[in-house]
Amino acid sequence: MRQALSVASECVPLIKTGGLADVVGALPAALKPEGWSLRTLLPGYPAVMRVAGQGKKVWSTVDLFGGPAQLQHVRVVGLDLLILDAPHLYDRDGSIYLGPNGQDYQDNPERFAALAWVAAQLATNGLGNWLPEVLHLHDWQAALAPWYLKELGGAAGTLLTIHNVAFHGIAPAARLNALRLPPDGFTSEGFEYWGQINMLKGGIVSADKISTVSPTYARELTTPEFGMGLDGALASRQADLTGILNGIDIETWNPTSDAAISTHFRTPRGKAKAKAKLEAEFDLPAADGPLCIVVSRLTTQKGLDLLLNALPALVDRGGRIALLGSGDRDLENAWLRASDAHPFVSARIGYDEGLSHRMFAGADAVLVPSRFEPCGLTQLYGLRYGAVPLVALTGGLADTVIAANAAAIAEGVATGLQFHPVTSDALAHSLLRLCDLFADKDVWTRLQRNAMKHPVGWDTSARAYARIYEGLGTSS
Ligand code: ADP
């Protein structure tokens, strides 16, 4: 087996705030059949230390960005983990990125630059007879590793995967030394960005290859509309930039055996019991229209303010909606108010993995009206569970759903609905169309069947990653 090191700030099932964690947790198993053995380097937050327990100490230092640190090697929950135990950086209560005041920790740049530095150190000196050929870096938290690798003289190839370009990792220029960055990299061709240090940009300009999580998002990233200020840097790396779709864990997300649901099913008809349970769980009355769900962070990105405006189109036709999410206070409150105001709307504020499984099992449709969406996972769960996805035509949502236009229906290939532009009006039209399609039971069942057959696992994408690794590997 060839060796690679995956470096990230989150990993399922140890610590998760978003889809990044799902992907990082899934990659090792996905790449194994391709001949690559992946170790995963993670920060030792309390939640990670609790699950991983005490591993074998394999490395230590007296000063890692301001305090002592050691690496614990542990194999647990099917993962081969290196955990960076650095209490001065990671031993904090609460969120992994935010302090008790809800603001980013002031030293987030140091906290994650340290992670990237240790990754580069490992790829240079190895551990015993283990030396990774490839460093797979995820998002800004790992993005500076190629700079450290160059300083340390390591030979590993580097792949930076961008899961969400909205998060940059910004530090004042005065922190150059503290971040162990070379002053000559502080230029517009380097990690400098409007007079500050931009860690994601640092990775974009220096990694050997760059990927993001869907082909459409890879194109979008090079445009001002979606590039979040890094479109120029990304456009200049276009030849090295690819889009590889995320997959989902089709064992955990399997409607015939899902441990989190009590009524399993193989066909759309088999969903009836789960649907009745879901109506009861969300206190929604039975009605003629589709039972729709949303499982999401509640942020502007996800377009759930647009959905609030478009709700009449759905509920006036007997459609119902069950929402599970948390995030921006204003949006949480707006959904709770909608929930109070209409018997066909029911919102739960919180994060609940088990409930999310029951929702996909019972739903007729899942709604994903994102303004931008690098890949998106909930439309993939929807496909797998016959909850027809209605999605915005953007990013990975554009790449994973075959829209039910007349031709696709006639060909028998449609799996969901797409709307564009991403506005309340276009969404409302799409919801009306959803209700029309739902009313035609033959067409609807066909949509569900196609959805459930659509491949959503990792096979194709794992091969694509392995091809990139092979191009980067030191023994290539
Ligand atoms: P993002 O990473 O932008 O949040 P994704 O769709 O890529 O969006 O991934 C979100 C992941 O988090 C999915 O696995 C989704 O099911 C899960 N998720 C989001 N909100 C909740 C919630 N409130 N309860 C349970 N799972 C959630």
**Atom 4 in ligand 1: which residue has the minimum CA distance?**
18
Mean pLDDT by 10 residues, the chain (476 residues): 97 91 95 97 95 87 97 93 97 90 93 98 97 98 98 97 96 97 97 98 98 98 97 98 96 95 96 97 97 96 98 97 96 98 97 96 98 97 98 98 95 97 98 98 97 96 97 76
Ligand 1 atom closest to 213 (CA): 7
Q: What is the pLDDT of residue 475?
A: 65
Query: Are the beta carbons of 41 and 11 closer than 8 angstroms?
Result: no
How distant, in Å, are the alpha carbons of 156, 164, 342 from that of 239?
Answer: 20, 20, 51
For ligand 1, say whether the CB of 378 is within 6 Å of any of its atoms.
yes
pLDDT of residue 227: 96
State how far the Cα of 432 lies from the Cα of 316, in Å rounded to an integer: 10
Largest Cα span, the chain? 68
Q: How far is CA 453 from CA 5, 57, 457, 463, in A?
A: 33, 45, 11, 20
Please give the distance, rounded to the nearest whole angstrom, from the Cα atom of residue 382 to the centre of ligand 1: 13
Residue to mutate, 213, 352, 356, 400, ligand 1, most ligand atoms under 8 Å from C-beta: 356
Sheet containing 36-43: give its strands across: 56-61, 69-76, 79-85, 36-43, 2-7, 134-138, 157-162, 209-212, 241-243
Tokens of 184: 């000559």
Q: What is the pairing mode between strands 196-198 and 192-193?
A: antiparallel
DSSP state of 102: S
**Residue nearest (by alpha carbon) to ligand 1 atom 19:** 296
Phi, psi for 254 (deg, rounded to 5): -130, 110
The answer, yes or no, to whether any atom of ligand 1 lies below 6 A from the CB of 25, is no
Distance from Cα 42 to the centre of ligand 1, integer Å: 20
E strand or H helix that includes residue 276: helix 272-281
Tell me the torsion sign for CA atoms 213, 219, 222, 223: negative
- Please report the pLDDT score of residue 52 as a whole number: 75
Candidate from 9, 10, 22, 326 with most ligand 1 atoms within 8 A of CB, to mutate? 22
Q: What pLDDT score does 94 carry?
A: 80
Can you point out the beta strands (E) in 369-455?
A: 388-392, 417-419
pLDDT of res. 100: 86
Q: What pLDDT, on a 0 to 100 scale, did the predictor assign at position 476?
A: 53
Please tell me the distance from the alpha carbon of residue 291 to that of residue 271, in angstroms, as a whole number: 12
Question: What is the atom index within ligand 1 of the atom nearest the CA of 16?
Answer: 12
| Number of residues written out for the chain | 476
Atom of ligand 1 nearest to the CA of 379: 6
CA distance 340 to 415: 32
Q: Which atom of ligand 1 is nearest to the CA of 18?
A: 2
